[in-house]
């Protein structure tokens, strides 16, 4: 696989995509693309027929797939298909059976070949176990593994073919970007162990040779590599037509060897269980050395593992303390921030959250008792922040203190639940009050009425009976007034003997939201109506003047205005000066409905522009 030469740092740039040979992967209608066009329909039917008959005969079959045409040459060479048969444009069918059936594989293969020939004499059936497929990687037959992996799954009981297919595509994408630096790309986990399920993750690990990296720090290099390699997962799934969860581990070669030398279990497991899909001659020798017992832990590593027992009590105490402190902190912090957001404040850092709880709920709204704000401050700042900065350690706080803090935290959270009810009530009250005022103040101005009943009556007369608005808007207006009375009439405090039920709270919340929606709709209609009236009024006051080289609008208001395109001017004495749209609009509102022509202004305009016609 050829690739342009470039440093690993250059390859980290998403703008640098080296030219590499990618497998010609089938994407849509993949079976048809592996066959000659004229035989496609028949071949699809034959493949489905074969799969059905094979599964009826051998119910334990795990997967059946058809290799793409471009993979046939590799398959035929590796599995030594006779030259005469190769010329028949064979259709290679991969059948995967469980490893426990390996002892019967000869008999199964004969039966499968018989079924294949009965269905279509071009079918060449390969019967393999998962171990046979993994051995392709272990024998460095990476091209053959890729050819098998590219099989289009006709039947895939536990997602085995889908798993190796998407992994092979992902490997190709990684090699296209970093081939020169990839030491190993391998699979491990459930797919290799043989306990694959449809919900199984795809576990792969990639080892990158960092020995010639000179311009970038190793940590920075690793993070950038991980980001780019992880980003390929979605592209691989799109190409393969498979949706799975990828578990990817990316190691630098020097780090990985250090882990092996220190006998880190993750590294040992990777070598022991991993199957390479690509290797430059490092991984397989490691695997052989491990199998022979030649990779042994150093004395320092043994001492490190043994010393873990000496710290057992210390570790247990520390972990318990860590868990309790984290639970106390987040158990009080999250609901506190939630209530502040309900109140209308954006999420804040720990210091501002503690400060806001006291200032907003204790001092401003007087909804929360000071002792609860003190509990929150003690847990979030005095204890957790000191613990986070190493000022408070497990030995500094005994069990009784932790129990007391836990009780305080539970009391605080319980009180926050009551506080939520109070805040939601305030929010409902404020929302309906704003909605009501905004709408009824607009109606008051338009209808010249002040009392609610008078406004509703005038609204009905002016807009409903005249047919300007549908009748439902009168019902909506009355509903808004009704919700306002209900919300303001059902105020709930902590001492209420008859607290609102959850159903009543839900109904009020729903009614307020409905009222807000109705008010928005009516407001929009009123604005449109007002704009139409203003437009008609403006249109009645507009004249046109047209001359030899003149075409303009003229408005006879308190002043006379000339509008030419985007240019607005006001007549001042014997000359025109620049004016603004706001000036015209302001005088338009003040002007009476009657429009009178200012003939004196017309004479002045004729002196400025010459002769013209006045058109209404």
| DSSP 8-state assignment for residue 256 | H
CA separation, residue 606 to residues 419, 549, 554, 603 (Å): 74, 13, 13, 5
Output b/e per residue, 94-122; b: 16+ Cβ within 10 A.
bbbbeeebeeebeebbebbbebbeebbeb
Task: Give the pLDDT of residue 298.
Answer: 60
> For the chain, how long is the longest CA-to-CA vector?
114
Task: Give the integer Cα–Cα distance in Å for 456 and 132.
Answer: 83
Task: Provide DSSP, 534-588.
Answer: HHHHHHHTEEEEEETTEEEEEEESSSEEEEETTEEEEEETTEEEE--HHHHHHHH
| Residues whose CB falls within 8 Å of the CB of residue 362, separated by 6 or more in sequence, listed in order | 368, 369, 370, 373
Length of the chain: 616
Task: Supply the angle between the helices 472-489 and 502-540 in degrees, to the nearest 10.
Answer: 130
Distance of CA 455 to the CA centre of its chain: 48
CA separation, residue 341 to residues 349, 370, 409, 410, 427 (Å): 13, 20, 20, 21, 11
Distance of CA 237 to the CA centre of its chain: 17
The series of mean pLDDT values per 10 residues for the chain, 616 residues long, is: 42 42 45 58 87 93 91 89 88 92 91 92 92 91 92 89 91 88 89 75 88 71 83 89 84 86 78 91 86 70 62 70 82 88 81 90 89 90 79 75 87 89 83 88 84 89 85 90 83 53 82 89 81 60 80 85 85 89 74 71 86 81
* Strand arrangement of the beta sheet that strand 612-615 belongs to: 575-578, 567-572, 560-564, 550-556, 542-547, 612-615
The secondary element (H helix, E strand) that includes residue 487 is: helix 472-489
Task: Give the pLDDT of residue 159.
Answer: 87
Task: Give the integer Cα–Cα distance in Å for 154 and 44.
Answer: 10
User: Among 140, 132, 264, 136, which Cα is nearest to 194's?
Assistant: 132
- How wide is the angle at C-alpha 347 spanned by C-alphas 345 and 350, nearest 5°? 120
| Residues whose CB falls within 8 Å of the CB of residue 114, separated by 6 or more in sequence, listed in order | none
Task: Give the pLDDT of residue 33.
Answer: 56
Task: Give the pLDDT of residue 533.
Answer: 61
- Residues 429/434/437/441 CA torsion (nearest 10 deg): 180
- Expressed in angstroms, the distance from the first to the final Cα of the chain is 81
| DSSP 8-state assignment for residue 29 | S
Task: Give the pLDDT of residue 594.
Answer: 64
**Contact present, 205 and 271 (Cβ < 8 Å):** no
Task: Give the integer Cα–Cα distance in Å for 24 and 17.
Answer: 18
Token pair belonging to 6? 């470039």
| Residues whose CB falls within 8 Å of the CB of residue 421, separated by 6 or more in sequence, listed in order | 492, 499, 500, 505
Output b/e per residue, 565-574; b: 16+ Cβ within 10 A.
eeebbbbeee
Task: Give the integer Cα–Cα distance in Å for 173 and 1.
Answer: 12
Task: Give the pLDDT of residue 494.
Answer: 45
**Contact present, 206 and 182 (Cβ < 8 Å):** yes
Strand partners, 204: 187, 248
**Contact present, 101 and 130 (Cβ < 8 Å):** no
What are the helix (H) ranges across 179-311?
Answer: 190-193, 218-240, 253-261, 265-273, 283-291, 299-310
Task: Give the integer Cα–Cα distance in Å for 331 and 333.
Answer: 6
The secondary element (H helix, E strand) that includes residue 613 is: strand 612-615
**Contact present, 163 and 200 (Cβ < 8 Å):** yes
Task: Give the integer Cα–Cα distance in Å for 164 and 354.
Answer: 52
Token pair belonging to 198? 């449809």
Task: Give the integer Cα–Cα distance in Å for 351 and 334.
Answer: 13
């Amino acid at each position: 696989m050829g690739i342009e030469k470039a440093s690993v740092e250059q390859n980290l740039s998403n703008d640098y995509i080296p030219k590499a040979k990618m497998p010609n992967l089938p994407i849509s209608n993949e079976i048809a693309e592996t066959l000659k066009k004229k035989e496609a329909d028949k071949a699809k039917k034959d493949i489905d027929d074969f799969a059905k008959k094979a599964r009826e005969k051998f119910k334990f079959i795990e997967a059946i797939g058809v290799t793409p045409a471009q993979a046939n040459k590799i398959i035929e060479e590796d599995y030594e298909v006779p030259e005469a048969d190769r010329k028949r444009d064979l259709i290679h069918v991969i059948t995967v059976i469980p490893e426990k059936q390996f002892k019967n594989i000869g008999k199964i293969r004969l039966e499968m070949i018989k079924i294949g020939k009965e269905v279509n004499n071009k079918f060449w059936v390969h019967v393999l176990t998962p171990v046979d497929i993994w051995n392709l990687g272990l024998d460095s037959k990476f091209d053959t593994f890729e050819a098998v992996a590219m099989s289009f799954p006709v039947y895939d009981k536990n997602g085995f073919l889908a798993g190796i297919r998407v992994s092979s595509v992902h490997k190709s994408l990684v090699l296209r970007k970093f081939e020169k630096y990839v030491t190993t790309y391998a699979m491990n986990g459930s797919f290799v162990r043989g306990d694959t399920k449809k919900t199984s993750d795809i576990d792969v690990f990639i080892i990158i040779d960092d020995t010639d990296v000179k311009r970038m720090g190793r940590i920075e290099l690793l993070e950038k590599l991980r980001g780019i390699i992880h980003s390929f997962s979605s592209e691989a799934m799109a190409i393969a037509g498979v949706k799975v969860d990828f578990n990817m581990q990316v190691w630098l070669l020097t780090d990985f060897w250090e882990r092996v030398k220190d006998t880190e279990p993750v590294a040992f497991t990777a070598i022991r269980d991993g199957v390479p899909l690509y290797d430059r001659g490092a991984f397989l020798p490691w695997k052989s050395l491990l199998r022979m017992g030649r990779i042994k832990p150093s004395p320092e590593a043994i001492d490190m593992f043994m010393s873990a027992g000496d710290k057992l009590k210390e570790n247990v105490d520390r972990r318990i303390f860590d868990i309790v402190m984290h639970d106390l902190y987040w158990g009080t912090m999250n609901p506190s921030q939630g209530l502040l957001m309900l109140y209308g404040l954006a999420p804040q850092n720990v210091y501002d959250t503690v400060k806001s709880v006291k200032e907003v709920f204790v001092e401003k709204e007087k909804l929360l008792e000071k002792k609860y704000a003190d509990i929150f401050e003690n847990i979030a700042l005095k204890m957790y922040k000191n613990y986070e900065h190493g000022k408070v350690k497990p030995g500094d706080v005994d069990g009784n203190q932790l129990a007391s803090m836990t009780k305080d935290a539970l009391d605080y959270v319980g009180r926050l639940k009551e506080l939520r009810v109070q805040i939601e009530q305030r929010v409902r009250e404020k929302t309906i009050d704003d909605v009501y005022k905004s709408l009824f103040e607009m109606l008051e101005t338009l209808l010249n009425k002040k009392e609610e009943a008078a406004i509703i009556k005038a609204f009905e007369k002016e807009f409903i009976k005249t047919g300007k608005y549908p009748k439902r808007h009168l019902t909506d207006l009355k509903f808004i007034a009704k919700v306002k009375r209900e919300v303001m009439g059902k105020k709930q405090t902590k001492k209420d003997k008859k607290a609102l039920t959850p159903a009543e709270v839900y109904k009020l919340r729903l009614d307020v939201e409905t009222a807000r929606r109705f008010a928005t709709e009516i407001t929009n209609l009123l604005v449109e109506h007002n704009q139409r009236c203003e437009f008609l009024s403006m249109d009645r006051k507009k004249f046109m003047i047209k001359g030899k080289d003149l075409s303009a609008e003229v408005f006879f208001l308190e002043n006379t205005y000339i509008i030419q395109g985007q240019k607005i001017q006001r007549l001042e004495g014997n000359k025109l000066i620049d004016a603004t749209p706001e000036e015209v609009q302001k005088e338009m509102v003040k002007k009476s409905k009657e429009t009178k022509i200012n003939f004196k202004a017309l004479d002045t305009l004729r002196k400025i522009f010459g002769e013209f016609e006045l058109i209404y």
